[in-house]
Amino acid sequence: MDPRFLSSVAIAGIGSLNFTRGVLDESVASLANQAVVKALDDCGLERKQLDGLLVHIGSPRGLDYDEMATLAALNTRFSSQTWAHGRFCGTVLQHAAMALDHGLADYLVCVGTFVNTRFTQHGTTGFPGFAENLREGGGPHAETLHAGLAAPIGGTAMATQRYLHKYGIDRSKLAAVAVGQRKSALLNPLAVMKQPMTTADYNASPYIVEPLRRLDCSISVDTSVAVILTRADRAKDLKKPPVYLRSYQGIAAGPNEFVFGQRGLGINQSEEYDYQPLGAGEPVFQVGGVTPADIDTLHCYDGFTPHVLWTLERFGFAPVGEAADWIQNGRIELGGELPVNTSGGHLSEGHSNGWGQTMEIVRQLRADAGPRQIPNCRLALWGTTFGDAILYGNDRT
């Protein structure tokens, strides 16, 4: 590994509200502030020490950074926010790490507040539009209204259908993702889904857009999450054990990428693409000086069950086209070879654009996950099928 490229940043504090469905009637500012209070208490800092703010999801779905700072009484010398859309948890945290590495702040809080249940009309009959669809080229998940694709599931279903056909996969094997993550959620008091799920329950759930069933889909929730980061030398003196960002890499893009599909399965491609993932050659592993075999737990964006398969393949945990077989018999469940999304993930904890999984990574590496704790957990990977990833560890070596 090259120490010049190792991050010197750690997560010092985390705070989260429960994941709920349509029962949070407070303002976004109030929800965000509650999460910030919890994160401050977790690490032992005072509000006045926070001099950096990154907001994930601004107006109209959330609160823009300037209003957040004003209403939460934060006097910051560095502030930023991402596009008012999901899937940028990793981007926010990487941006925070770079700001801290370059001395733009000493203690930086990242805030993600989600009132998803107020936007449940998106893509439904009588409400096919969404402001993001107005961008040139169509919506962020390949919503192309002229073709009848009005919601994220459309593009994902097409990519899944192509994937299943290309590799001769039995779609029923997707059940292992949904069932396994529900088992973990039942051990997570923050999770929204409290009912057990069997394979029979999964198979009985209706198709939403074939081949994806209702239980292949993530659960929209309301919640707020705050994560406080600082430089490693400061983090070691705070209240809780630090969790270090060892290395990271950004989101890929281009004609062979599709935001909710494996590379080569996009719906806008004009030619066949022979997908050859880098696996252990991904920068996040190369810079961090590890291989996929060293990872104790994987946490990945799971808007839909196939995202887990595609992430496993992209980062070299399973061969291309073989992840559906690889995950069977509890391999990605608690107690398995590679526990995945041990909080329940978006499928059962609730869809928080990766923040719930980030919280779980911190808990696992602090050995603070209760009945979900993975023994001797030292290294965790956050990753997505779109290519962004962060390697976390509970030490810097």
Q: What is the pLDDT of residue 26?
A: 82
Q: What is the pLDDT of residue 4?
A: 46
Examine the pLDDT at 65 and tell me if it is beyond 90.
yes
Q: What is the pTM of this model?
A: 0.94
Q: What is the pLDDT of residue 1?
A: 46
What is the side-by-side strand order in the sheet with 107-115?
78-81, 52-56, 107-115, 222-231, 9-16, 243-249, 389-393, 379-383, 297-300
Confidence of residue 199 (pLDDT cuts 50, 70, 90): very high
Mean of the pLDDT values across residues 84-100?
89
Q: In this structure, are residues 179 and 173 in contact, taking their beta carbons and an 8 Å threshold?
A: no
Q: What is the pLDDT of residue 141?
A: 65
- The domain segmentation of the chain, as residue ranges, is 3-120+218-393
- 4 vs 25, residue with greater confidence: 25
Q: What is the pLDDT of residue 89?
A: 93
> Distances in Å between the alpha carbon of 299 and those of 60, 77, 178, 219, 329?
28, 32, 14, 17, 19
Examine the pLDDT at 143 and tell me if it is beyond 90.
no
Q: Which of 160-164, 264-268, 331-335 has the lowest mean pLDDT?
A: 264-268
Percent pLDDT > 90 in the chain is 71
Mean of the pLDDT values across residues 191-195?
96
Q: What is the pLDDT of residue 172?
A: 96
Domain topology for 3-120+218-393 = Peroxisomal Thiolase; Chain A, domain 1 (3.40.47)
Mean of the pLDDT values across residues 198-206?
98
CA distance 291 to 315: 9
Q: What is the pLDDT of residue 117?
A: 65
Examine the pLDDT at 278 and tell me if it is beyond 70.
yes
Q: What is the pLDDT of residue 133?
A: 56
Mean of the pLDDT values across residues 62-66?
89
